[in-house]
């Protein structure tokens, strides 16, 4: 069957690689999505194991449409009783990038009307809408006049991993955090350090990668596919058991630091929702005073951007980060994500890679810095 995994802009190639590793076929990269084909096992595994997917969709119908009446009648032609019963509930996510359909919410509303009317005409009863925990989540996407109707196999967005029950200001999305770690090319052959860890997302995602823990191991809500009519509970139990075997020979360390005591308390509490206690160390430390603990390591930094967090002296902070890296971290690789392009220039080191990513709506640069011994020659 044809399937689509959606993601955040800039993570498409990493997602395609994850899909290839799972055994997906016919992988085709799109903007913020990757199309692929696979069987039911792959669909279940994609929902459970992919770290950089936001949703996994199963398209059921494609058509061209330019008017709302055409949308209504084409949606009504689909036999919805194949997918849900009249007592089931539904939710519809509409996405429109089209000059014919300007409002995504309206697309969702028309789709809902068509489905509800089909049931009412057949059974004199209608299914209800439940936006939070529907039996069937339907995704309808219109690009110009091309419409794809899909069932959402993930249900709630896959960034909801289940471990992060508390956050501090400006937490990074879990999908983006995992994507940054995978983009960094970390081979798990050195320590991983997040010196500004906030609520601990990057170290916990790194821990899950290092110890081969499936991305959704701690998810609390059911996946969408578990409420489908063709749900194969036995197959799901078998696949989950296999994925949970998570053997790992990781021998290095994972650290998260922050100058805010509250951040460390929250990170530790989030860590308690995983099996990684004792495998990740959180501690209170100012980056100004931070000394390396080994000869080499990978540093991932998500500093304040001053878009959402107001620190006042944002450029001084970035300049301090650059000086600290240059003077104390020879042998290390550092990656920094920020939307504050002017502040990034204050780092004063030449990046060896630049990747564009989005943190929510914020366009960010994700920059790689390699600190060699005597890397002053890198200073711009």
Ligand X SMILES: C[S@@+](CC[C@H](N)C(=O)[O-])C[C@H]1O[C@@H](n2cnc3c(N)ncnc32)[C@H](O)[C@@H]1O
**Least distance to ligand X from the beta carbon of 310, Å?**
11
Q: Which is nearer to ligand X, 162 or 171 (CB)?
A: 171
Q: How many CB atoms lie within 10 A of CB 249?
A: 8
Site string for ligand X, 322-351 (x = CB under 6 A): ------------------------------
Site string for ligand X, 160-189 (x = CB under 6 A): -------xx-xxx-----------------
299 near ligand X, judged by CB under 6 A = no
- For ligand X, the closer of residues 19 and 172 by Cβ is 172
For ligand X, the binding residues in 103-162 under the rule CB under 6 A are none
Distance of alpha carbon 97 from alpha carbon 372, whole angstroms: 46
Considering the rule CB under 6 A, would residue 263 count as an interface residue with ligand X? yes
Give the residue, chosen from 253, 265, 269, 286, that forms a contact with ligand X under the rule CB under 6 A: 286
Q: Select from 152, 258, 306, 333 the one that contacts ligand X (CB under 6 A).
A: 258
Window contacting ligand X (CB under 6 A); options: 70-78, 150-158, 240-248, 254-262: 254-262
Q: Which residue is nearest to ligand X (CB)?
A: 198
The span from the CA of 327 to the CA of 340, in Å, is 23
Instruction: Verify binding: residue 203, ligand X, rule CB under 6 A.
Output: no
User: Where does 217-332 show beta strands of DSSP type E?
Assistant: 254-258, 280-284, 297-301
Q: Which stretch binds ligand X (CB under 6 A): 30-38, 59-67, 258-266, 272-280?
A: 258-266
Which residue, 70 or 171, has its beta carbon nearer to ligand X?
A: 171
Q: How far apart are CA 40 and CA 380, in angstroms?
A: 53
Q: Are strands 146-152 and 353-359 parallel, antiparallel or unpaired?
A: unpaired
Q: How far is the CB of 161 from ligand X (least distance, A)?
A: 12
Applying CB under 6 A, among 288, 295, 316, 342 the residue interacting with ligand X is 288
Which 3 state secondary structure label does DSSP give 337? Answer: strand
Taking CB atoms within 8 Å and a gap of at least 24, the contacts of 121-126 are: 122/81, 123/86, 125/86, 126/86
H or E element at residue 48:
helix 40-49
- Report the residue number, 111 or 201, with the smaller CB distance to ligand X: 201
Q: What DSSP character marks residue 299?
A: E
* Integer-rounded Cα radius of gyration of the chain: 23
Q: At what angle do helices 261-271 and 201-210 cross, to 10 degrees?
A: 30
With H, G, I as helix, E, B as strand and everything else as coil, classify residue 147.
strand
Fill in the DSSP letter of residue 129.
E
Answer whether 36's CB lies under 8 Å from 26's CB: yes
Taking the complex as a whole, the smallest distance from the CB of residue 314 to ligand X amounts, in Å, to: 10
Smallest gap from Cβ 359 to ligand X, in A, equals 9
Q: Any contact of residue 287 with ligand X (CB under 6 A)?
A: yes
Q: By the 8 A CB rule, do 367 and 300 touch? A: no
Footprint on this chain of ligand X (rule: CB under 6 A): 167-168, 170-172, 195-199, 201-202, 258-260, 263, 286-288, 302-304, 309, 317
């Amino acid at each position: 069957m044809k399937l689509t995994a959606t993601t955040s802009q800039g993570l498409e190639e990493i997602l395609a690689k994850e899909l290839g590793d799972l055994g997906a076929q016919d992988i085709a990269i799109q903007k913020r999505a990757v199309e692929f084909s696979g069987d039911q096992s792959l669909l279940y595994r994609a929902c459970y194991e992919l770290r950089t997917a936001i949703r996994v969709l199963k398209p059921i119908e494609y058509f061209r449409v330019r008017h709302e009446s055409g949308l209504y009648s084409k949606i009504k032609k689909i036999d919805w009783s194949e997918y849900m019963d009249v007592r089931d509930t539904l939710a519809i996510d509409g996405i429109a990038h089209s000059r014919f359909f300007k409002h995504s919410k309206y697309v969702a509303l028309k789709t809902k009307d068509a489905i509800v009317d089909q049931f009412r005409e057949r059974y004199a009863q209608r299914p209800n809408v439940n936006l939070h925990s529907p039996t069937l989540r339907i995704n309808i996407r219109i690009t110009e006049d091309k419409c794809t109707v899909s069932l959402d196999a993930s249900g709630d967005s896959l960034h909801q991993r289940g471990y992060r029950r508390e956050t501090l200001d400006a937490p990074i999305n879990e999908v983006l955090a995992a994507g940054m770690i995978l983009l960094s090319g970390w081979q798990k052959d050195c320590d991983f350090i997040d010196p500004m860890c906030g609520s601990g997302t990057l170290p916990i995602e790194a821990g899950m990668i290092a110890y081969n823990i499936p991305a959704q191991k701690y998810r609390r809500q059911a996946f969408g596919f578990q409420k489908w009519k063709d749900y194969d509970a036995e197959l799901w139990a078998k696949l989950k058991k296999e994925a949970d075997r998570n053997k790992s020979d990781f021998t290095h360390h994972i650290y998260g630091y922050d100058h805010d005591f509250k951040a460390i308390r929250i990170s530790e509490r989030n860590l308690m929702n995983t099996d990684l206690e004792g495998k990740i160390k959180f501690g209170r430390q100012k980056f100004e005073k931070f000394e390396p603990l080994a000869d080499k390591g990978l540093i991932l930094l998500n500093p304040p951007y001053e878009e959402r967090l107001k620190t006042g002296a944002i450029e001084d902070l970035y300049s301090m980060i650059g000086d600290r890296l240059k003077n104390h971290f020879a042998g290390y690789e550092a990656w920094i994500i920020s939307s504050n392009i002017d502040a990034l220039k204050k780092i004063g080191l030449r990046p060896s890679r630049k990747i564009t990513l989005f943190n929510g709506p914020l366009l960010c640069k994700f920059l790689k810095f390699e600190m060699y011994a005597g890397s002053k020659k890198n200073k711009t």
